[in-house]
Amino acid sequence: MNRKVFVLTGNTGTGKTTVANYLNEFYEMPKVITHTTRPPREGEIDQVDYYFESEQSFKENHYLESVAYANYRYGSSYEGLERAWEKSPLITIVLDTAGAKTYSEKLGDEAVVIFLTVTKPDEILGRLSKRGDNLEETRRRMASEEYKRDVQLPQSLQGIAHVVVNDDWLSTKEEIDNIVKQALVFDLEEE
């Protein structure tokens, strides 16, 4: 089987991590762990959710791409990708839309990009508060340039990314199952 990375992108709170966890539990796809200077949220574990870095240690890694998002740095490394691919040919990564563009450009068909969105953005605040996020921090994030940018699928990913409206989890799950099936059929046809 050819290797693929399912790139989950979209705005904060649209369900990227939820989908990555689903792909991990039901398809055994390991998640690429990325690096950030953001402090851990309650319940987040170093080396499981992220490699949590200081400003100094962040600079010491070798990145395939890195971005600034709402005042913190995030980056993913070639080593992280290869480590996940050693475990399975099908893996996931959670990225903002700038990162998703870079993955699509650099990896071509190896990257299956899924853009998550919701019909009612007002509901995101409720979802994030249920997740336990700090209200002030969430408001600050939702006022950021990155948040405004990630509401829309970037033009360069139109016709490439699968767009999934994650209003209702059961329909989302069905759509994700279809995208996985489609990627596997495409893979068989290529061989």
Q: Which does 13 bind (CB under 5 to 8 A by kind): ligand ATP, ligand LQESDW3C, none?
A: ligand ATP
Tell me which H or E stretch contains 14: none
Residues in 126-185 that interact with ligand ATP by CB under 6 A: 127, 130-131, 166, 168-169, 172
Residues in 15-74 that interact with ligand ATP by CB under 6 A: 15-18
User: What does the CA dihedral 132, 96, 87, 182 come to, rounded to 10 degrees?
Assistant: 110
Binding region for ligand ATP (CB under 6 A) out of 58-66, 106-114, 123-131, 174-182: 123-131
CB of 189 to ligand ATP, least distance (A): 31
The answer to the question of residue 13 lying near ligand ATP (CB under 6 A) is yes
Of 71, 159, 28, 176, the C-alpha closest to 116 is 176
Q: How far is Cα 16 from Cα 95, in angstroms, rounded to an integer?
A: 8
Residues 6+ away with beta carbon under 8 Å from 127: 13
Binding region for ligand LQESDW3C (CB under 6 A) out of 21-29, 92-100, 105-113, 120-128: 92-100
CA angle (157, 160, 163) in 5-degree steps: 85
CB of 191 to ligand LQESDW3C, least distance (A): 31
The answer to the question of residue 117 lying near ligand LQESDW3C (CB under 6 A) is no
Helix (H, G, I), strand (E, B) or coil at 92: strand
Binding mask 93-112 for ligand LQESDW3C (x = CB under 6 A): -xxx-xx-------------
Which residue is associated with the tokens 């068909």?
Answer: 109
Helix (H, G, I), strand (E, B) or coil at 81: helix
Residues in contact with ligand ATP by the rule CB under 6 A: 12-18, 94, 127, 130-131, 166, 168-169, 172
